[in-house]
Amino acid sequence: MSSPDRLAVPALGYGAANVGNLFRALSDDEAWAVLDAAWETGIRYYDTAPHYGLGLSERRLGAFLQTKPRDEYVLSTKAGRLLRPNPAFAGGLDTANAFHVPDDLQRVWDFSAEGTRASLDESRERLGIERIDLLYLHDPERHDLDLALAEGFPALEQLRADGEVTAIGIGSMVSDALAAAVRSADLDLIMVAGRYTLLEQPAAVDVLPACVETGTGIVAASVFNSGLLATNEPRRDGRYEYGELPDELWEKLVRIAAICADHGVPLPAAAVQFPLQASGVRSVVVGGSRPEQLRQNAEYAALPIPEELWENLAADGLIPA
């Protein structure tokens, strides 16, 4: 059974993929301004990963957090992709992975015990911060979930036992992998990406019950569903993960937006606060590449929302009762 007392995670966090030049390039000054806005709005949980910008996110976030008192924030990063020199580098960019950074490094999957420990050490070096509060295995199902279950998660448990990290977990957008990890390992927190949102809740079927059984906390990420929930008036041509938005989801989105409008609640505010209605969800992590987005998300997180909104959405079968 996991201990809920190992690590307290603030209810709102910043996911630092954007400062790793996700979707568009930011200068160092622009990235700093984004992080500064996050801090000024009161955000004290920061999540990153080697994957984000081939280490750029960790370096930028670490440089920023080194200017802050270490006991005033929670920091998480991830393991599973080691960064190694790219022998085929020819001056290109990592845009195949949506990051606008030189692809002079390549990601090497490694969920072995040795690889997991090496990833933590290398993240510490890039961040320039010794104490990592929370270490997730990142997308193990994309490479070798069996190896992660056999070696990666036991390695995380040992790192926690040795005091190298305070808490451990998994970050994934695949419900089956999340549930398998929760039932197989003694995890503290899991990051559920896009699988428990105002628009879609597949994690409610198996992941949330597994977390209730084991006492595992949940961090909800990608709560805007690729941006579909980020504005009051969704667009039919909006991006949905890696393809077009299915008709049935569009129809559901229109109904959700209409009920939010009836209650005078901005759709993005409902999207940010919805996951926290579930008892096991401890935090919602949002991204952002502009300071004003960070300030707006903080306002959405603090906006009073009437209980009747959730009751109406549940009564219409749009969210779990």
Question: Which residues participate in catalysis according to the annotation?
Answer: 52
Using alpha carbons, list the distances in angstroms from residue 166 to 14, 48, 63, 68, 183: 19, 16, 21, 19, 20
CA dist., res. 125 & res. 55, Å (int): 10
How many whole angstroms from its chain centre is CA 203?
A: 15
DSSP state of 246: P
Burial of 88 (0-12, 13-18, 19+ CB in 10 A): exposed
| Measured distance between the N- and C-terminal CA atoms of the chain, rounded to whole angstroms | 27
CA dist., res. 131 & res. 149, Å (int): 25
Burial of 281 (0-12, 13-18, 19+ CB in 10 A): buried
Q: Which residues contact 304 (CB under 8 A, 6 or more apart)?
A: none
Token output for 166: 């305070």
Q: Greatest CA span in the chain, whole angstroms?
A: 58
Helices (H), 28-88: 28-40, 56-65
The answer to whether 185 and 157 have CB atoms below 8 angstroms apart is yes
- Closest by Cα among 274, 279, 296 to 287: 296
